[in-house]
Amino acid sequence: MKKGKLILPVIILIAATLYFSIFIVKEINQAIVLQFGDPKRILMKPGLNFKIPFIQNVVFLDKRILNLDAPPAEVIASDQKRLIVDAFARFKIVDPLKFYISVGNERVARSRLSTIINSRIRSVLGTQRLQTLLSEERTKQMALIQDGVNTEAAKFGIQIVDVRIKRADLPPANSDAIYRRMQTEREREAKEFRAKGAEMAITITSTADKEVTVILADAEKQSQILKGEGDGQRNKIFADAFGQDPEFFAFYRAMQAYETALIGGETSLILSPDSEFFKFFGNIKAQTQSQ
């Protein structure tokens, strides 16, 4: 009975000892085994490991590439233009022991890196003009920033993989002033374009009116020429016809005159009976006297 009562506590003690002695390092982690706060082992490979329970403890550090969003920093360029620069970085812990001794944990490391990044951004971009930051030279400036940050981060067992500027804007007051100046400039250009357009419209309209006048004059001239040629041709034909049979031509012209003079049925003519107009009506005077 006494042996049975002792076995259970022993089993529990052994199980607890094993539980607190075994730990697993995952693929995404690296571990430091501490004994009363003093580093004893560095574990870089994943797998099952052992430690002395209640005496040793394990600190796990991320082995992946981590992202860091640095707080926005105000930078004064060499041409005295103020900028609000928002940058981010990617880093990884390459020396766990140095990292643990220098910064202790990831939260402190992020704070230190943010300060280093902003300081390096000010020192590099402060020597450049605003125009440089908006050109292809910006890539070279970012390389200089990354090299400087990497030098400082190496003291913490950290490697900087990349540093980039997400956004580089003017302060709100400057942005508003520039926006108003740009708006005024665009309005001035719009007025200038409209004035030039109106001037071009007047020029085009006057040119078109002139061309229309010339075309109409040429057309009128051509029509008069054609009309004159037609009238001449007609007169020639009449003259030729008159020369062939003058009597018939005189009769034809008289019929035309009668038609023109007597059209409508309400025309009254008072002429002498022996007038040339009644030549083809016979001897109207003789016929009147006989009656």
CA distance 278 to 291: 18
Look at residue 261 in the predicted model and tell me its pLDDT.
65
Judged against a pLDDT cut of 70, whether residue 125 lies above it is answered with: yes
Residues listed for the chain:
291
State the CB neighbour count (10 A cutoff) for residue 76. Answer: 12
Judged against a pLDDT cut of 60, whether residue 135 lies above it is answered with: yes
Judged against a pLDDT cut of 50, whether residue 284 lies above it is answered with: no
User: Nearest-CA neighbor of 126 among 74, 172, 70?
Assistant: 74
Residue position matching structure tokens 């190496």: 154
> Tokens standing for 224?
């008069």
Look at residue 262 in the predicted model and tell me its pLDDT.
62
pLDDT per residue as tens digits for the range 236-269: 777 776 667 676 676 777 777 766 666 655 656 6
Q: Tell me the domains of the chain and their CATH numbers.
A: 2-62 (no CATH), 66-170 (3.30.479.30), 245-290 (no CATH)
Max avg pLDDT among 15-19, 167-171, 194-198: 194-198
Band of residue 94 on the pLDDT scale cut at 50, 70, 90: very high
CA distance 175 to 16: 65
Residue position matching structure tokens 């950290």: 158
Judged against a pLDDT cut of 50, whether residue 59 lies above it is answered with: yes
The mean per-residue pLDDT over the stretch 14-43 comes to 87
Q: Are 63 and 92 in contact (CB under 8 A)?
A: yes
